[in-house]
């Protein structure tokens, strides 16, 4: 759980926004962006909000005009338009902990736009070279995909590996960043 201080309620504001890969649900706390969910149809929205409610102990409030969400929305729109490579957003890491948080922080700071890293290499970067599979689990539980770029983690043999948003979404993100060729149609 996050510590919000005595005078501050642990509020979570959320909105669904369109993106180059379909609707995304974005949620933020006073600490920063806390969650990004792909394919934000009603079922995904409901499951994401229930998870936020349980994990953060606060009732998520729909807030499309939220000042907390304004900058993430603006920067993600620029990213999908090919106008921004570094999102540079304030993040609330309270939905991840331990090894997963360590791996995700390394990914966020150490794997720039337009590059990829193998699961094993990322494990080695956090001092656990034997933990490639655990890195895969950390990618699958990433509460901030796109912003914490788990799409940039690939198999050592060149395969795409898995992706919570689906392999086609991963291909689209890697193509946007110039790692893969753009689809012909």
Neighbouring C-beta atoms of residue 81, cutoff 10 Å: 10
Q: What is the pLDDT of residue 161?
A: 84
Q: What is the pLDDT of residues 75-111, one digit of tens each?
A: 999 999 999 999 999 999 999 999 999 999 999 999 9
What is the pLDDT at residue 10?
58
pLDDT for the residue numbered 3 = 44
DSSP state of 152: G
List CB contacts of 67: < 8 A, sequence separation 6 or more.
none
- Report if pTM > 0.85: yes
CA-based radius of gyration for the chain: 16
Work out the number of other CB atoms within 10 angstroms of the CB of residue 65.
Answer: 8
Stated as kind and residue range, the H or E segment containing 17 is strand 12-17
Task: Let me know how many helices (H) and strands (E) the chain has, helices first.
Answer: 6, 6
Instruction: Give the per-residue pLDDT at 98.
Output: 95
Give the Cα separation of 39 and 19 in Å (integer): 10
Q: Give the pLDDT of residue 4.
A: 43
Distances, alpha carbon 2 to alpha carbons 10, 29, 99, in Å: 8, 10, 17
pLDDT for position 138: 94
| Residue 150 is among the residues annotated as catalytic for this protein | yes
Choosing from 16, 138, 150, 154, the catalytic residue is 150
The segments of the chain whose pLDDT lies below 70 read 1-10, 182-185
- Residues in CB range of 49: below 8 A, 6 or more apart: 14, 60
């Amino acid at each position: 759980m996050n510590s919000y201080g005595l005078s501050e309620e642990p509020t979570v504001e959320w909105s669904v926004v369109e993106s180059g890969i379909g609707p995304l649900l974005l949620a933020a706390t006073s600490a920063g962006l806390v969650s990004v969910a792909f394919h934000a149809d009603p079922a995904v929205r409901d499951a994401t909000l229930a998870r936020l409610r349980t994990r953060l102990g606060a009732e998520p409030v729909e807030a499309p005009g939220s000042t907390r969400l304004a900058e993430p929305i603006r920067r993600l729109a620029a990213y999908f338009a090919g106008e921004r490579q570094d999102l540079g957003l304030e993040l609330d890491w309270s939905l991840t902990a331990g090894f997963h948080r360590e791996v995700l922080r390394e990914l966020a700071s150490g794997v720039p736009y337009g590059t990829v890293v193998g699961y094993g290499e990322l494990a080695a970067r956090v001092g656990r070279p034997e933990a490639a599979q655990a890195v895969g689990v950390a990618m699958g539980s990433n509460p901030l995909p796109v912003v914490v770029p788990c799409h940039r983690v690939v198999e050592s043999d060149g395969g795409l590996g898995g992706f919570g948003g689906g392999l086609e979404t991963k291909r689209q993100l890697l193509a946007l960043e110039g790692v893969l060729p753009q689809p012909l149609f």
